[in-house]
Structure 1
Amino acid sequence: MLIRTLWTLSVRTRTFLRRWMPTNILLDRLRTRRGLKWGVPAMGLGIVYFFGAAVSIALINGGWSPWLYVVFAMCLWNALKFVLFGPISLLLLARARVHEHQARRNLRRPSSETAEA
């Protein structure tokens, strides 16, 4: 019973985060075929999030509330998501282009074979 409850809670948490958190919404849009070309420029957001993490650590060291560690963790996590998505988007874009090229070639092939016969 406990494992089932934990499993359900984790699924609902993931669904909530996927649907309502801005960085997850943006990454979902970037994973579409039209959005893959924006993967490398989106790495710039990762740099902004790294800067936010550095600022939060500087504020904590300056005597601000230790609750800023939560901000630090979120900024660091979002920075890693965007920085890692850049190279991944290049691989996904290359794979999509290969599939599109194969589909175009397969569409042309039957018509050229029937013209020869």
Structure 2
Amino acid sequence: MFRLIWIASVYTRYFLRRYMPTNIALDAIRTRRGLKWGIPAMLLGVPYLYAASIVRVLLDNGAPGWLNLLVLLFIWNAMKFAIMGPISLVLLLRVRIYEAADRRRMRKQQTDSVVYARAESVG
């Protein structure tokens, strides 16, 4: 029984990760090219919160109770985008620090090889 639940959760996660638009957008933001879009993507949380408030008003006016699931979904998606902004900023800073260190290392190797070549040609 435990194995069946485990497998069902793995397939559900795979499906949601692959086909849900917010997960696709967040995966694109996590790439090197997409890290710069993390802070602007935080603004995508605003429409989700607005949609959640609209559905909440509908619920207060007598809509079916299952719409509470939509409210939770909208709030969850808004939180995902709100959290991804600062995370992408930290990831972008880390990547840029590593890239700067690589550039310094490459320049040092190039200058060392030029100095070594000159020393061999002189000696």
Q: TM-score range by the shorter chain?
A: over 0.9
Per the alignment, residue 14 of structure 1 pairs with 13
Runs of 4+ displaced beyond 4 Å:
none
TM-score (norm 2): 0.89
Per the alignment, residue 28 of structure 1 pairs with 27
Q: Larger Rg: 1 or 2? A: 2
- State the alpha-carbon separation in 2 of the partners of residues 89 and 3 from structure 1: 36
Identity rate of aligned residues, in percent? 47
1:95 maps to 2:94: yes
Amino acid at match of 1:23: T
* CA-to-aligned-CA distance 1:20-39 (integer Å, 9 cap, x gap): 10000011011111111111
- State the alpha-carbon separation in 1 of the partners of residues 24 and 59 from structure 2: 29
- State the alpha-carbon separation in 2 of the partners of residues 104 and 32 from structure 1: 20
TM-score (norm 1): 0.94
More helix by share: 2
Which runs of 5 or more residues in structure 1 are unaligned? none
Which runs of 5 or more residues in structure 2 are unaligned? 117-123
Deviation at 1:116, TM superposition (A): 2.8
Per the alignment, residue 72 of structure 1 pairs with 71
